[in-house]
Structure 1
Amino acid sequence: MKIPKPRKRGETYNITVSYESKRYYCTRDTAKECEQWAALKLLELHTQTRIENGEIKPKFSFRDLNNKYYESVGQWKESKSSRAWIKGQYRNFESKFGALAQKSIYDITPKDLTNWRNKRLQEVGENTVLKEISHYSAMFTYAQKELFILNENAWMLITKPKKPKARSRRIHASEIELILKALNYEIGQVPVLSQHYVAWGFLFAIETAMRRGEILLMEMKDIFDGYVHLPKTKNGDPRIVPLSDEAKELLKLIKHKGRRVIPQSENAFRLMWERSKITIGLNNLHFHDTRHEAITRMVRVRKLPVEVLAKITGHKKIDILVNTYYNPSADDLVAAFNG
């Protein structure tokens, strides 16, 4: 490409370049600066034309896509928990992908992603890897269907890990006693200390099948005569949770005048729970197991039909409710059969 000569105008120089019937102007202090600008401008215009004609691909790394997706989609997710999780993925992107983060999205192959999957499976469980694959696949779909810079999604061409068997962990009465003792709490006690509220939340979860996050977000104004109204839940819909007599008694123990029933951050609550269960050797107990226990009790004691139970627990898919969260023992099944 021929570079035109700069023209001196007073103390400065200007230059004009023409490309596809359009003119572009520049003013600089020296003729050399004008020539450098003209060379770069013509190269930029020529490259852009080749990109638009499909002759070459624009420079767009996996890191660039991660930034673009978070700025345009991720940080605007409606669910607060989803936003927080996506923000964590965004911040830890470099450490998870290493050199692959710098690779052009056009050059990333299913083999690259399969190698990443295998390495990641050595670090975390299958459920975590499945969730991460879904997130990064959504990025590539965004590049394909919204940005129109990809022809196919390489994540869709790899084999996903098998989903592990769902937990069926029940909580024994002796384990409840151990947890309460570790948290220095007795049933009927007014919670005062932080560990008391963790114990209270544990007992309340077993009575209501509410998730930990739902209990921690529960406000005084959400409590009514006979039920709790959850304005926003994990699936985004409001929910009514009926209260058992035991749950009502637990709520009577809350004496503070704060906005939230449990005046504690989610992180502080989680750390205290984890430390307490480890000190008594219950490493395999998850707080979410209270949901399994509560749902199984609701069926056994209250004989709730599955459609009513689904409304209480917030499950939109009945098969997940029945096959994952209802965990009867052999005695429970025999009693239900003969009852």
Structure 2
Amino acid sequence: MASIVKYENGYRVHIKIKEHRESKTFRTKREAQEWAAFRETEIRNQKKLLPGEIHTLRDAFRKYANEMTKGKSNPRWEQLRVANLESQNLPMDLPICEINTNHISTFRDHRLKTVSAGTVLRDLSLLSSIFEVARIDWCWIINNPVKDIRKPPSPKHRDRVLTIWEIKAMLRSLKYNYKKRPQAAIHSIAHCFLLALRTGMRAGELCSLTWNNVHENYAYLPMTKNGKPRVVPLSKKAKKIIDKMKGWDDESVFGLKKQTLDTMFRRYRDYAGLSGFTWHDTRHTAATMLSKKLNVLDLCKMFGWTDPRMAMIYYNPHASTIADLLNT
């Protein structure tokens, strides 16, 4: 039922129909009455609609961001991804049941004009996840339109491995001194860089590593990129790198945020006159170096790969290295 209350600046309508509550102010009583009658009819008719006819794509994005990102390893990052996707050329205000493959294909083609195929594939993966939750968990739709479109070809996997010369140049740029404990943030980054090369740990995993999770010959990662915990074996040299960080931060081993690490790493890489590699390439480098000591299954265990084929992506030996193995 609707009630109309007179105020100094006009008439305020209050609508209450079961759990639905709504209010709005109008200049005249007649406008208030007309709107109240219209909204009451509209709300009652909506009760007969299916959920997918009532809820828009924007509703799905907001609900997903609020409810489904909490279990992710980095909820805030996942929410930012959803917000960024929401700002793209998608029909956000259409009922979700009306979104079809044409809408998704148009979005795909538009994005491919400005970003890489890899970025578009990640966008489509997130979009598909939202539709799947709307289909399975919320029962808003019957089909997921993302599944029926052509995906852009997957980009070639990076196979960049840092050379010894590049590693030494990077350490010089970061003012690394193996005899001294860290005195500044760049020294912490240098030790972080070395541990990445020894273990293959990701930037986010290194930045979130706490002293409580460092043990004599392994580090425990309670949450990783794939949402599962992982135990990372530590060689004596890797443990020595960590021990050098004692006294730098009471809780965190490196006392760094991922964004700070990424930004400063690129800056000091450029200062060193280096280019062509990213922080993530330390993972490729570590896998290639450790593959000389570990078999494929042990390598997968250490790096957290559930599919042995991932080893083929990250393990990038030079042909001459394989030839040397054949001759031993």
Q: Is the Cα contact below 8 Å between 1:120 and 1:129 reproduced in 2?
A: yes
- Match of residue 273, structure 1, among 248, 265, 272: 265
d(CA) in 2 for partners of 1:175 and 1:67? 45
CA RMSD of aligned residues (A): 2.5
Q: 1:58 to 1:190 in 2, by over 3 A?
A: same
- Match of residue 141, structure 2, among 146, 150, 155: 150
Report the equivalent of 1:333: 322
Q: SS at the partner of 1:278?
A: helix
d(CA) in 2 for partners of 1:47 and 1:252? 64
How far is 1:243 from its partner? 2.2
Q: Is the Cα contact below 8 Å between 1:191 and 1:197 reproduced in 2?
A: yes
Within the alignment, does 1:315 sit opposite 2:308 as a pair?
Answer: no
Deviation digits for residues 295-330 of structure 1 (CA, Å, limit 9, x no counterpart): 211122x2x221122221111111112x11111111
Q: Is the Cα contact below 8 Å between 2:72 and 2:78 reproduced in 1?
A: no
Within the alignment, does 1:228 sit opposite 2:219 as a pair?
Answer: yes
Residue 139 of structure 2 aligns with an amino acid whose one-letter code is F
Q: SS at the partner of 2:160?
A: coil
Deviation digits for residues 220-267 of structure 1 (CA, Å, limit 9, x no counterpart): 222222222323322333333222232233223223151111012222
Within the alignment, does 1:175 sit opposite 2:170 as a pair?
Answer: no
Report the equivalent of 2:200: 209
d(CA) in 2 for partners of 1:196 and 1:113? 47
Deviation digits for residues 139-186 of structure 1 (CA, Å, limit 9, x no counterpart): 222222333332322211211111111111111011012211222223
Report the equivalent of 2:20: none
d(CA) in 2 for partners of 1:237 and 1:39? 52
Q: SS at the partner of 1:241?
A: strand
- Tell me the TM-score normalised to structure 2 length: 0.82
Deviation digits for residues 57-101 of structure 1 (CA, Å, limit 9, x no counterpart): 734322122112222323x2x2322x2332112332443236x22
Within the alignment, does 1:248 sit opposite 2:239 as a pair?
Answer: yes
- Tell me the TM-score normalised to structure 1 length: 0.79
d(CA) in 2 for partners of 1:221 and 1:79? 22
Q: Is the Cα contact below 8 Å between 1:188 and 1:250 reproduced in 2?
A: no
Moved more, 328-337 or 139-148: 139-148
Q: Between the two proteins, what is the percent identity of the paired residues?
A: 29
Report the equivalent of 2:313: 324
Within the alignment, does 1:293 sit opposite 2:288 as a pair?
Answer: no
Alignment of 1:82-231 (within 5 A): 83-97=75-89, 100-231=91-222
Q: Is the Cα contact below 8 Å between 2:188 and 2:245 reproduced in 1?
A: no
d(CA) in 2 for partners of 1:299 and 1:204? 16
Report the equivalent of 2:47: 48
Q: 1:147 to 1:248 in 2, by over 3 A?
A: closer
d(CA) in 1 for partners of 2:157 and 2:200? 17
- Match of residue 60, structure 1, among 52, 55, 58: 55
Gaps of 5+ in 1: 1-29
Q: 1:152 to 1:191 in 2, by over 3 A?
A: same
Q: Is the Cα contact below 8 Å between 1:201 and 1:215 reproduced in 2?
A: yes
Q: SS at the partner of 1:224?
A: coil
Q: Is the Cα contact below 8 Å between 1:188 and 1:253 reproduced in 2?
A: no
Larger Rg: 1
Q: Is the Cα contact below 8 Å between 2:73 and 2:223 reproduced in 1?
A: no
Report the equivalent of 1:306: 296
Aligned length: 299
Deviation digits for residues 3-29 of structure 1 (CA, Å, limit 9, x no counterpart): xxxxxxxxxxxxxxxxxxxxxxxxxxx
Gaps of 5+ in 2: 1-28
d(CA) in 1 for partners of 2:231 and 2:36? 66
Q: 1:188 to 1:173 in 2, by over 3 A?
A: farther
d(CA) in 2 for partners of 1:287 and 1:104? 42
Q: Is the Cα contact below 8 Å between 1:231 and 1:239 reproduced in 2?
A: yes
- Match of residue 71, structure 1, among 49, 53, 66: 66
